[in-house]
Structure 1
Amino acid sequence: MTRIISEAETMARLPDFYWSLERYHAAIKAGVLTENDKVELLFGKLVPKMPIGVSHGKAVKKINRVFNRRLPEDRYTIGVQDPITLIDDSEPEPDLHVAKGPLEAYTQHPRPADILLVVEVADSTLATDRSVKKLNYAVAGIEEYWIINIYEHQVERYIGPDSAGGTYATREVFKTGDTVTSLHLGAFAVEELLIE
């Protein structure tokens, strides 16, 4: 049994296969990766996406409804679990994002210069959203990142990306009764963004 454990540990240390953005897109185009492959590209690695639970799905739908009521479609494009193309061979699929301009203006996935806000809804994904996802968005220079924290009933707002440090200069926490004012999208009552 010891030999098997030792060999398994050796295998776990083998280098991972690096996926460039071009290779990732080619695999999708060729049908090697399909919508049934629940993965996203982060820093050149294919990372499994967590299954969406009832609370998570309900929160995404609620926020999408709020954004669609408030943000005119001729000025904004709202993505729901759609890819955004970042630097460092990353193409995450955040729960929501808001990009400049109408949908018709996009012939490719939005890039950092297009993106006004990225939102992740966090339940079982909270640790990843506060670490790897935050790092990914900060390195790419995403100006504003929100985590809708289901279990702690709060909105975490990150602004002032430090690309070199991979973090944000400011983290603010908003609870029920508070108002979150986005850099580009106006003010939102926390109750509008949280589920009961």
Structure 2
Amino acid sequence: MKTLAKWSVDDYHRMIEAGILRDRRVELLAGEIVEMTPETPIHYSTAKRGVKYLEQLLIGKADVRFNGPVTLLNSEPEPDIAIVRLPESNYNNRHPAPEDIFWILEVAKTSLKKDLDIKAAIYATAEISEYWVLNLAAKHVIVFQSPHNGQYTTHKIIQKGMITPLAFPEIQVSIERLLS
């Protein structure tokens, strides 16, 4: 049985700085450097429209990041959308850490299994209180909440209507707008 070498976030950053990972679309997931799934046009468009919509809803409340890394204990995933604390200048010299993150959204079509299994476990382990997966094939949003011992204890599938994020109870997010 082979044992794979696990990489730390610091190792990963040193590889990036040295140019070893140049021209490679990778992310660090649970200590492993993983090739990112190529984005389909609908994946990219949905994520970009979602960012614009959420920026309107959260103006002055949070920074809405698009395809940017977040630094966790042994991972540095690049979620499609991350809602993080202001001010944006906090991230001039570092990526958002768990204490900066309100919630994360992933857009899934070809990446659904990775988003539901690997990324959900990584985000739950990091105690990210809320994680949404926009399932493009099924046209619904899976909302994960209440992380405990590396897994989310609640999840619900929502096909239409509004979602109220835990961090912003005064905000209503339209499922139809996210999936359009």
- How high is the TM-score relative to the length of structure 2? 0.94
- Determine the C-alpha separation between the residues in 1 that align with 2:177 and 2:97: 27
Query: 152, 160, 168: which is aligned to 1:168?
Result: 152
SS of alignment partner, residue 172 of structure 2: strand
Aligned residues: 177
Query: 4, 20, 45: which is aligned to 1:32?
Result: 20
The corresponding residue for 2:179 is 194
1:31 deviates by: 1.1
The corresponding residue for 2:31 is 44
SS of alignment partner, residue 129 of structure 1: helix
Contact kept in structure 2, 1:119 and 1:146, CA below 8 Å = yes
- Determine the C-alpha separation between the residues in 2 that align with 1:17 and 1:79: 31
- Sequence identity of aligned pairs in percent? 33
SS of alignment partner, residue 61 of structure 1: helix
The corresponding residue for 1:127 is 113
The corresponding residue for 1:5 is none
The corresponding residue for 2:67 is 81
Unaligned runs of 5+ in 1: 1-12
SS of alignment partner, residue 19 of structure 2: coil
SS of alignment partner, residue 182 of structure 1: coil
Query: 133, 158, 162: which is aligned to 1:179?
Result: 162
- Determine the C-alpha separation between the residues in 2 that align with 1:86 and 1:46: 14
1:173 deviates by: 1.2
- Determine the C-alpha separation between the residues in 1 that align with 2:94 and 2:64: 14
Contact kept in structure 2, 1:75 and 1:102, CA below 8 Å = no
1:169 deviates by: 1.4
- Residue type of the alignment partner of 2:154: T
1:102 deviates by: 1.8
- Determine the C-alpha separation between the residues in 1 that align with 2:101 and 2:36: 22
The corresponding residue for 2:54 is 67
1:16 deviates by: 1.8
- Residue type of the alignment partner of 1:71: L
- Determine the C-alpha separation between the residues in 2 that align with 1:105 and 1:113: 12
Q: Which runs of 4+ in 1 moved over 6 A?
A: none
- Residue type of the alignment partner of 1:141: E
- Residue type of the alignment partner of 2:51: N
Give the structure with higher Rg (CA). 1
The corresponding residue for 1:143 is 129
